[in-house]
Amino acid sequence: MSKRILVTGGAGFIGSHLCQRLLDAGNDVLCVDNYFTGARRNILHLLDNHRFELLRHDVTFPLYVEVDEIYNLACPASPIHYQFDPVQTTKTSVIGVINMLGLAKRVKAKILQASTSEVYGDPIVHPQTEDYWGNVNPIGFRSCYDEGKRCAETLVFDYVRQHKLAAKVVRIFNTYGPRMHPNDGRVVSNFVVQALRGVDITLYGDGSQTRSFCYVDDLVEAMIRMMATGRETTGPINIGNPVEFTIKELAERIVELTGSKSKLVFRPLPADDPRQRQPDISKAREVLKWEPTVRLRDGLIKTIEYFDDLLHRGDAPHKAGANRAAL
Catalytic annotation, residues: 145
Q: Please give the C-alpha separations between residue 254 and each of 151, 173, 308, in angstroms, as whole numbers.
A: 36, 20, 13
Q: Please give the C-alpha separations between residue 276 and each of 47, 239, 244, 247, 270, in angstroms, as whole numbers.
A: 40, 16, 9, 10, 14
Residues belonging to the chain: 327
**Phi then psi dihedrals of residue 286, to 5 deg:** -75, -50
DSSP state string for 131-154: T---B--TTSTTHHHHHHHHHHHH
Half-sphere exposure of 141 (CA within 13 A, CB side): 11
User: Reduced to 3 states, what is the DSSP secondary structure of residue 124?
Assistant: coil
Neighbour tally for 198: CB within 10 Å? 12
Q: Where are any strands of DSSP class E within 165-271? A: 167-172, 175-176, 201-204, 210-212, 214-215, 237-239, 244-246, 264-267
**Phi then psi dihedrals of residue 210, to 5 deg:** -115, 150
